[in-house]
Structure 1
Amino acid sequence: MNKYRDKSWDFRTANTKQLTHCFHRYPAMMIPQVAGRLIDMFLSLYSNNCKVLDPFCGSGTVLVEAKRRGLESWGIDINPLARLIAKTKTTPIDSEKLKKFHGRFLKKLRDIFNDKYEFNKRVCIPKFFNIDFWFKPKVIESLSVIKHEILKIKYKDIQDFYKVVFSETVRDCSNVRNGEFKLFRIPEQKLKNYNPNVLLTFLEKAERNFKGIQDFYQELFSKNYLNIPVHILSEDTRVKTSIPDKTIDLIVTSPPYGDSKTTVAYGQFSRLSLQWLDFEEEVCRSIDKNSLGGKPSNNFDATQISKTLKSTLEKIAKKDKKRASDVLNFYNDMFLCIKELNRIMKPKSRICFVLGNRTVKGITIPTDEILTEMFEYFGFRHKETIIRDIP
């Protein structure tokens, strides 16, 4: 296997928050410089008619970078919060239209809060399970008022823009420990003095995102790329998607590194935001269960395809058979994804996976080698593996 380290991929000093990449923190985000460079590596092969897919699109980094290059793109994710963020990051809103609305909207919010309003009984307070555990009473009240005003916005793209600001405000003003993606509560002794300013948090994020989307719109306008299509699908790459056979030229993606229970809990990260945005409770709580490796898969054994996976699982099983079984479930699901990607890729297409090799029971799982063997099963040829350090 051709594998080497290249420090030019580290992007240690790069600004990773330009344009709409500044929107909404999200777990395990690919930095835009990596996504953009991977697209640029193969762009010349397709005469600027390259169709790009991110089958685990998350918050939409790859889709933004594809649109910046005038390329039609598709993104797939089972997480509705990820799809909302990705949709908003890739949807340019007319600068003048948004500018006029933005000023009026933020002024209205300031006026409501500055009047030391008595709580409006007509404002709907969410009733989801444990809301009082995760939010202080004053925070619940303030979030409810902001949400009430957002839902009055009639233009959907603008409403979604502020929903994304609201979602991040929900996370930052909750009782979840700072910097956590999983739901760990602030310790009781610290919670007593914890009084987040909901309005200020929302306003700061709104101004940051406003500048990002203004810059995004101007760049696309200058290149005549405003109407380049972005298709964000609420589908599952493990099963047949709505993308027709042999549609895609280039895949750039960063898939999950393992099951949500033991690696990045995308569902836990998203749950409070989705509850505040009125998604069904079952949807809010089922994301991690429905993610790769979230359920046992008895119909297939990926060790028949990858000898590296087989030998790795044998080592893990000597220490913990249950953990070995969990790891196998994840790679069984990943194989199903690769099978679907094989269906929708054109001949002579290219696939770029950005991966991390995790450790289970002290044993490193060489995911790059395992997935290479799975792709080779379908006739793909491995070109190279580039190792980068995460700054």
Structure 2
Amino acid sequence: MGANVENEWWKELNLNYSGENNFASFFSSEGNIHMYPAKAVPEMVSSLLKKLKEQYSISKVLDPFVGSGTVALESKYLGMDFYGSDMNPLSILLTRTKALTVQKTAFIESTLRGFTDSIVTKYSSQTLVKLFAFENIDFWFKTNNIREISFLKEEIDCFLRKSVGKNRETFSLILLTAFSSTIRESSLTRNNEFKLYRMSPSDIKKFEIDSLLVFKDKISNLLSMLVETNKISTNETTTNIKLNNAKNLSCFINKGIDAILTSPPYGDSQSTVAYGQFSKLSLQWSKDLLSRYLGIQTEAENVDEYLLGGKRSTSTVSLRMILRRSETLRELFRSMRMNCSEEINNQRKLLSSLKVLQNNILEGTFNYKFLENNKELFELIRERIRLDFFRIYNTSTALTNKQIKVSAEESRDEFFNSLKRNINNKAMLRHLESKIPFVSETIKRKIKATPRRVRSILHFFKELYLVVEQTDKVLSSEGVQAWIVGHRTILGSINVDMAGILNDWFVSMGYSKITTLHRQYSFKRLPHHINSTASRKNEIKTMMQEHIVVVRKIKEKLI
């Protein structure tokens, strides 16, 4: 069947869902089992699976990057066997919980609700609690929450140790998922961020939370969703989820997998979504329990360096080969090299201008217009002054994060307005001159970092190609693949055509290109623009669309 005919099948598919990102496509719920970065939209995943099932009769789905388990749950609901992997232990916990079939529902519910009631009562009369500890625990948690979570951990351990038989896994998944979510909510992190940022002193002072009551609420919410899921999804299916590196999917060979549906990382964790940072605190608290009761091992508490493109992740693929197999990637490589050369020349000019500025201040010939005419240099210096004020205000317990940010910007503007009115103010000029070495170091770091950034981007693509190769090895003849990707912006201005690169690679492997679908983000947790890290002035557009690459493996011909 020709690709143009197959393409017609997809035209009626509308993937631009709006509203809340629900727990599942098949029932509405305001709750969720756990926060997780970059969750796929259940309705979109369901629509894709239904279409693939209708047109290609798929029955076994693989997701090499399971994330929070959306593909796993939607596959189960549609009566398909699911296979999945991820390197993040928290991801494995959440996916196994989401795809869990709860047997003896009434017994599980009553037992766990009784357990949460008992720990709240027991804690009120507890005088001695063995406190859990790890590095910087008191930086991320208040003393009373450390005590509450330590008590909770001991109680969970004691409860699971006494559990026997098939119920132990069910109890473990539910309790440890709720425990992880409680840790997240009880921490002094800014909970709307996925990277580890601490609250302002003002917000910390106001932060009051009862971790035991949070845990009780998490258990209740989780039980409600799992019970509801079990009522609706009655299909008997196989679910096989492994803590595994997607660069080696040999454990899934000969499983008869006829569909791949996945949403890979858009880049390395350092520059995109920091899955490891997001999961770190939960794993520090619970890694021993995950290992003891679920067999989920935690080799590293922060997995970012081991994920695709990470510093500790290695690749055996040659750059020449992946470039040869994708014209889109070759064009990206050319653009990055040109951008890199231009950026380094520009930064060297900034260093020269900075030296002139320093000499002018020291010689008493400072001219404010020289600063204004060198806009990029001016913004770098303004940012350094802003940081000074930010650090001062950040010690205040009376200001929120937003107020600190606004106050720092206002004080910076006031400083430069005053300097412009009185360019001979020696104290202000001395302060300005004292910032020059810091700005110089920032520029020099960027000169060194720009070529490294190009290499790290190419390293990510080498590793992603390995995953593509692995999916091809486990996919049966005439099987289909659907990859959900975003087109991110790199090096400040270059748009990465991920869909184009993937399509090129699949075609080079002998796949038939079926279609590339596009949808608008509606549940995006990123702003429409982000600021460059150097000056915080240049706006960079973030991803506002998702693209779904759909390809089919051509049947091998007998010779």
Q: Deviations over 1:59-89 (max 9, x none)?
A: 1110101111111110110111100111111
CA pair 298-91 structure 1, distance change in 2 beyond 3 A: closer
Larger radius of gyration: 2
> Do the aligned residues in 1 keep the contact of 2:101 with 2:230 (CA within 8 Å)?
yes
Q: For residue 108 of structure 2, give the secondary structure of its aligned residue in structure 1.
A: helix
Q: Relative to structure 1, is the Cα distance of residues 109 and 249 closer, same or farther in structure 2, using a 3 angstrom cutoff?
A: same
> For 1:8, what is the secondary structure of its paired residue?
coil
The alignment partner of 2:111 has SS state of helix
2:306 to 270, 286, 290: 290
For the residues of structure 1 that align with 2:60 and 2:459, how far apart are their CA atoms?
Answer: 31
Scaled by the length of structure 1, the TM-score of the pair is 0.91
The alignment's TM-score, normalised by the length of structure 2, stands at: 0.65
1:342 and 2:360 correspond: no
2:497 to 346, 360, 366: 366
User: What is aligned with 1:305?
Assistant: 325
Question: Could you tell me how far 1:46 is from its partner in structure 2?
Answer: 5.1
- Of 137-146 and 285-294, the range deviating more from structure 2: 285-294
CA positional deviation for 1:313: 2.3
Q: How does 1:153-302 map to 2 (within 5 A)?
A: 153=160, 154=163, 155-220=168-233, 223=234, 225=235, 227-245=236-254, 247-279=256-288, 283-295=299-311, 297=315, 299-301=317-319, 302=322
Report deviation, 1:198. 1.1
Q: 2: CA distance between counterparts of 1:327 and 1:170?
A: 33
For 1:201 and 1:367, how far apart are their aligned partners in 2?
A: 40
- Cα deviations by residue, 1:223-280 (Å, 9 ceiling, x for unpaired): 3x2x411000121121242112472111111110000010001111111101100359
Please state whether the residue corresponding to 2:101 is helix, strand or coil: coil
1:1-391 to structure 2, matched below 5 A, reads 8-13=14-19, 16-18=22-24, 22-45=32-55, 47=57, 50-94=59-103, 95-113=105-123, 115-120=124-129, 123=130, 125-151=131-157, 152-153=159-160, 154=163, 155-220=168-233, 223=234, 225=235, 227-245=236-254, 247-279=256-288, 283-295=299-311, 297=315, 299-301=317-319, 302-317=322-337, 318-319=339-340, 320-361=450-491, 362-391=493-522
Cα distance in 1 for partners of 2:21, 2:190 equals 26
Shift, 1:7, TM fit = 8.8
| C-alpha contact (below 8 Å) 2:262/2:483 kept by paired residues | yes
CA gap 1:14/1:242 in 2 versus in 1, 3 angstroms: same
Question: Would you say the 8 A contact 1:6–1:388 is kept in 2?
Answer: no
Q: Where in structure 1 are there 5+ consecutive unaligned residues?
A: none
Task: Summarize the Cα distance change of 1:329–1:39 in structure 2 as closer, same or farther, 3 Å threshold.
Answer: same
Per the alignment, do residues 381 and 193 of structure 1 end up closer, same or farther by CA in structure 2, a change over 3 Å counting?
same
Q: 1:299 and 1:71 mapped to 2: Cα distance?
A: 33
- AA aligned to 2:69 is G
**Which stretch of structure 1 is more off in the superposition, 157-166 or 13-22?**
13-22
Q: Offset at 1:205?
A: 1.7
Instruction: Name the Cα RMSD after superposition.
Output: 2.4
| Higher fraction of helix | 2
In the TM superposition, residue 144 of structure 1 has moved relative to its aligned partner by 1.1
On the 8 A contact 2:279/2:302 being kept in 1, the answer is no
Runs of 4+ residues deviating >3 angstroms: 1-7, 18-21, 279-282, 295-299
Q: Contact 1:66–1:73 (CA<8 Å) still a contact in 2?
A: yes
Q: Which moved more, 1:188-197 or 1:80-89?
A: 188-197
Q: Answer yes or no: is the 8 Å Cα contact 1:119–1:141 preserved in 2.
A: no
Contact 1:52 1:72 in 2 (8 A): yes
Counterpart residue type for residue 347 of structure 1: S
Per the alignment, do residues 334 and 15 of structure 1 end up closer, same or farther by CA in structure 2, a change over 3 Å counting? closer
CA pair 282-84 structure 1, distance change in 2 beyond 3 A? closer
Higher RCO (CA-CA < 8 Å; seq separation 6+): 1
Q: Distance in 1 between matches of 2:456 and 2:215?
A: 40
Distance 2:467 2:270 in 1: 19
Report deviation, 1:351: 0.7
Give the Cα–Cα distance (whole angstroms) in 2 for the partners of residues 128 and 88 of structure 1: 26
